[in-house]
């Protein structure tokens, strides 16, 4: 079985517990205006033209983003860091893009990791039918689930899809008592509003089993250069990155409601 990925990040510390190797899958059904990996959205490898200015001269380059890899080839890569993963309580995180778009490849990769006692996490939007999510839930050790916005209209406006399926899948995962960390991107004036935070807390408190933790992800404008290089529209071109301190109040609200909270991934 082959899949299409666009990167393997080693020694990652923000994609789950311990030291991790993160595999970035190609393809995403969402179109978040703040996406940090816009080159991941197309499910196929794409040739990206980049330009840079040096001493008044423009240099252009073309780079392929995405490549095919088999589960066996991927596993050889993953094993290179297994000793660090084991010693730090880490593992492999399958991220993207949206890994559930390549669910068969994902399932095989998860099974391969399980066979070798390598712990796994799936970083997902959960925007997929339950028949796709459930088999993955039976193989992965942890889900990192994005909760982008509680209001269906706002969710549709800023990500291109409704949140109905996502919320339903979070409830179903919780009913199965699958370990879930919720990741909330804090996007200025979109998700860090009083109303959205209150609704997130109410929704999470009503789940059948408590989530492991809530990660508040401060908005960063670090993808600004990438948008420029790849000639993409950047909705947040003038928005400064958020400071951790700006999220202390929100962290307190979640903590008061009984959640373990981390600022950052």
Indicate whether 145 belongs to the interface with ligand SF4 (CB under 6 A): no
Q: Determine which residue in the list 4, 32, 178, 216 makes contact with ligand SF4, applying CB under 6 A.
A: 32
Q: How far is the CB of 235 from ligand SF4 (least distance, A)?
A: 12
Of 169, 130, 115, 172, which Cα lies nearest the Cα of 146?
A: 169
Residue that is written with structure tokens 């996490």 in the block: 121
Residues 85-104 that bind ligand SF4 (CB under 6 A): 96-98
Cβ proximity to ligand SF4: between 10 and 31 the closer is 31
- The reply on whether position 150 binds ligand SF4 by CB under 6 A is no
Judged by CB under 6 A, the stretch of 28-36, 46-54, 59-67, 77-85 that binds ligand SF4 is 28-36
Spatial distance between the Cα atoms of 46 and 52, rounded to a whole number of angstroms: 19
Q: In the sheet that 91-95 helps form, which strands lie side by side, from edge to edge?
A: 67-70, 2-12, 20-25, 91-95, 120-124, 142-146, 180-186, 213-218, 261-263
Q: Can you tell me which of 102, 103, 112, 125 binds ligand SF4, judged by CB under 6 A?
A: 125
Question: With binding defined as CB under 6 A, does residue 10 bind ligand SF4?
Answer: no
Of 22 and 125, which CB lies nearer to ligand SF4 in the complex structure? Answer: 125
Quick one: 65 or 85, whose CB is closer to ligand SF4? 65
Q: What are phi and psi of 113, to 5 degrees?
A: -65, -45
Closest Cα to residue 140, out of 113, 176, 116?
A: 113
234 is a site residue for ligand SF4 (CB under 6 A): no
Handedness of CA 184, 186, 189, 193 (dihedral sign): positive
Q: Tokens 């196929």 map to which residue?
A: 44
What minimum distance in Å lies between the beta carbon of 28 and ligand SF4? Answer: 3
What is the nearest approach in angstroms of ligand SF4 to the Cβ of residue 163? 12
């Amino acid at each position: 079985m082959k899949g299409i990925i666009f990167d393997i990040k080693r020694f990652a510390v923000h994609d789950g517990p311990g030291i991790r190797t993160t595999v970035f899958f190609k393809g995403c059904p969402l179109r978040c205006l703040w996406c940090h990996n816009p080159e991941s959205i197309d499910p196929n490898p794409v040739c990206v033209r980049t330009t840079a200015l040096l001493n008044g001269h423009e240099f252009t380059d073309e780079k392929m983003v995405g490549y095919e890899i088999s589960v066996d080839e991927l596993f050889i890569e993953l094993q290179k860091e297994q000793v660090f993963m084991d010693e730090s309580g880490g593992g492999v995180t399958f991220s993207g893009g949206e890994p559930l778009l390549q669910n068969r490849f994902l399932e095989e990769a998860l099974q391969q990791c399980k066979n070798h006692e390598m712990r796994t996490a799936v970083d997902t939007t959960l925007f997929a039918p339950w028949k796709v999510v459930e088999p993955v839930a039976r193989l992965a050790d942890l889900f990192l689930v994005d909760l982008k916005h509680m209001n269906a209209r706002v969710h549709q406006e800023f990500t291109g899809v409704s949140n109905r399926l996502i919320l339903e899948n979070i409830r179903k995962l919780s009913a199965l008592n699958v370990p879930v960390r919720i990741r909330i991107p804090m996007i200025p004036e979109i998700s860090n509003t009083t109303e959205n935070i209150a609704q997130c807390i109410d929704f999470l408190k009503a789940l059948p089993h408590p989530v492991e933790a809530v990660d508040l992800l401060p908005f960063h404008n670090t993808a600004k250069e990438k948008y420029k290089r790849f000639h993409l529209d950047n909705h947040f071109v003038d928005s400064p990155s958020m400071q951790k301190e700006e999220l202390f109040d929100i962290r307190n609200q979640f903590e008061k409601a009984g959640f373990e909270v981390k600022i950052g991934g």
